[in-house]
């Protein structure tokens, strides 16, 4: 290649990097509601149902898309079926054949076709908090009035057919910079041990080892390693045990108040630390909740929580920064976007 051609390519590459850097800086500058030391909070008006995801803009989405330079995707969703692991507070799911070729042809509910044309359709009985998911802001309540984000109360907005404020339909299409914090690898482990509480020092140490820096408006995904046992139906106890490792409240506050995380997630069903049976009473007394990180993020800060994200491939490839893309089904009243298939676009 001639020297002039090389110089032209170098100039184009440099200008591209400069434009991406400018877009990223503009994105950070547009975080109008986040305050360092305080975080987000109830700052978008009394009718808001979106929370921190309000901060996505055309500029921030464009900057995130600029991280995709290879055209490569990583599937961050796990496969769900009737035998899949569930958190104890949720119901199992079932897929039932509502129409099948055999039934259609035998029962004669529809006119027969000479070609034998028929179809399959399924009826689903499924919880709205199973498999890869994003908790909606109406998922967790607190206080004597059972309020959730922005002060919406159960007496006003609850009901027998789902919540009527902050349901999963209010979760916007998410296109943002995603960052993997691989705590398991930082600790030199295949998976964090059961009931391990992830500290601020763990987060800082992993980020330093990776050479990764957080920016306001990031989707932060924390790897414990537990999700590698998802598909192992023969040894479900292993997943159940490792699923109790997770983020401590101090870590959640650091991510939101000091770093401006817009969504926080992990590869476990609860994302946060689960105490042992012997420590549970003292833990709840200290925090006035058995899931204090959920209370803090969903109710107080308006920050959605991602759960059961498959992070093993990203960790193996040391892909710590990417464009995170996720949309949820528009099912009115549901308290989470569930059985998702988000992706890391690189």
Alpha-carbon dihedral sign for residues 96, 97, 99, 105: negative
Q: Which is more confident, 115 or 342?
A: 342
Report d(CA 169, CA 19) in Å as an integer.
Answer: 34
Most confident of 97-101, 119-123, 217-221: 217-221
Pick the CATH number of 31-86+127-345 from 3.40.50.800, 3.30.365.10, 3.50.30.50, 3.20.20.70: 3.50.30.50
Q: What is the pLDDT of residues 30-49, one digit of tens each?
A: 568 999 999 999 999 999 99
Report d(CA 142, CA 4) in Å as an integer.
Answer: 66
Q: Which is more confident, 238 or 299?
A: 299
Mean pLDDT, range 117-136, rounded to an integer? 91
Can you give the pLDDT at residue 19? Answer: 47
Can you give the pLDDT at residue 241? Answer: 94
Q: How confident is the model at residue 106 (pLDDT cuts 50, 70, 90)?
A: confident
Question: Which residue intervals of the chain bear CATH 3.50.30.50?
Answer: 31-86+127-345
Q: What is the pLDDT of residues 239-278, one digit of tens each?
A: 999 999 999 999 999 999 999 999 999 999 999 999 999 9
Q: How confident is the model at residue 12 (pLDDT cuts 50, 70, 90)?
A: very low
Mean pLDDT, range 111-139, rounded to an integer? 87
Angle between helices 58-65 and 3-29 (to 10 degrees): 140
Mean pLDDT, range 199-212, rounded to an integer? 98
Instruction: Report which of 114, 152, 159, 155 is spatially closest to residue 136, judged by C-alpha positions.
Output: 152
Q: How confident is the model at residue 91 (pLDDT cuts 50, 70, 90)?
A: confident
Report d(CA 170, CA 167) in Å as an integer.
Answer: 6
């Amino acid at each position: 290649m001639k020297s002039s051609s090389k110089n032209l390519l170098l100039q184009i590459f440099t200008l591209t990097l400069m434009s991406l850097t400018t877009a990223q800086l503009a994105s950070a500058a547009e975080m109008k509601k986040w305050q360092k030391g305080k975080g987000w909070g109830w700052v978008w008006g009394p009718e808001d149902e979106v929370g921190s995801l309000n901060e996505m803009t055309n500029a921030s989405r464009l900057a995130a898309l600029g991280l995709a330079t290879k055209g490569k995707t990583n599937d961050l969703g796990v496969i769900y079926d009737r035998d899949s692991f569930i958190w104890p507070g949720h119901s199992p799911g079932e897929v039932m054949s509502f129409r099948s070729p055999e039934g259609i042809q035998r029962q004669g509910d529809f006119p027969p076709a000479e070609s034998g044309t028929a179809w399959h359709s399924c009826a689903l009985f499924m919880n709205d908090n199973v498999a890869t998911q994003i908790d909606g802001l109406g998922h967790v309540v607190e206080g004597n009035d059972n309020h959730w984000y922005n002060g919406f109360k159960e007496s006003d907005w609850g009901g027998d057919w789902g919540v009527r404020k902050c349901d999963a339909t209010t979760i916007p299409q998410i296109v943002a910079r995603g960052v993997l914090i691989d705590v398991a690898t930082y600790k030199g482990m295949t998976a964090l041990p059961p009931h391990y509480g992830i500290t601020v020092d763990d987060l800082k140490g992993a980020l330093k080892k990776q050479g990764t820096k957080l920016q306001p408006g990031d989707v932060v995904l924390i790897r414990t390693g537990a999700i590698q046992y998802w598909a192992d139906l023969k040894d479900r106890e292993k997943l159940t045990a490792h699923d109790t490792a997770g983020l401590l409240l101090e870590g959640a506050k650091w991510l939101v108040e000091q770093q401006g995380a817009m969504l926080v997630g992990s590869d476990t069903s609860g994302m946060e630390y689960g105490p042992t049976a012997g420590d549970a009473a003292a833990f709840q007394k200290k925090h006035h909740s058995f899931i204090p990180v959920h209370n803090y993020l969903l109710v107080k800060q308006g920050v959605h929580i991602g759960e059961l994200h498959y992070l093993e491939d990203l960790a193996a490839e040391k892909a710590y920064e990417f464009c995170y893309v996720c949309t949820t089904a528009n099912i009115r009243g549901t308290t989470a976007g569930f059985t998702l298939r988000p992706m890391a676009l690189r």
